[in-house]
Structure 1
């Protein structure tokens, strides 16, 4: 088993990615939007995996920052889709709550990898 497979946040990111993929399949979104949303959600999972394989704290931290940024990108896309009535408020709230939990975990991981002042 690889280190990233043991991470609680990785498992949650995979679940989020799966939910996004199911959402995309169930809607007739324009190609650009569906592609961007799919890529952003997948980026969270992939950056967690890649970051866990890095040896230095700054390297790992950078990948976790990118993963968190991709999460923010997903929420921005979903927010626009909600405004366009392509996503209802209840579904948006579900994605938002899941993303908020992921964001908090990633934030803690990022802070734990910051350089300590001596």
Structure 2
């Protein structure tokens, strides 16, 4: 048995992103375990959680949760930028992750627009 939100491509991509952020943050310095590491992981998890939680309500409620997911995604951008500036990750890793975040951001925006016009 599956829940409807599990069929959403944006949800599946957000879970892939969680996996990638967990892998990336394993390489952060140990002193960041309660700092940037924890913040980045919580922010990326929040994207998937809000997509799932919002999907069960009305279109208006779902749109509100998608806004929250979008805000969490912006938080991920900041965490990613800090990781790059602190040399925790390479330029290549930064650019690849940034592209994935942009893709998911566009998917969330598209879903929000779809819900508003329905």
Q: TM-score, normalised by structure 1?
A: 0.91
Residue correspondences, number: 115
Equivalent in the alignment of 1:45 = 48
Instruction: Name the counterpart of 1:17.
Output: 18
Structure 2, unaligned stretches of length 5 or more? none
What pairs with 1:1-118 in structure 2 (closer than 5 Å)?
1-28=2-29, 30=32, 31-54=34-57, 56-114=58-116
- Return structure 1 stretches of 4+ with deviation > 6 angstroms: none
Structure 1 residues without counterparts, runs of 5 or longer: none
Q: CA RMSD in A?
A: 1.4
Task: Give the C-alpha shift of residue 7 in structure 1.
Answer: 0.5
* Cα distance, 1:86 vs structure 2: 1.3
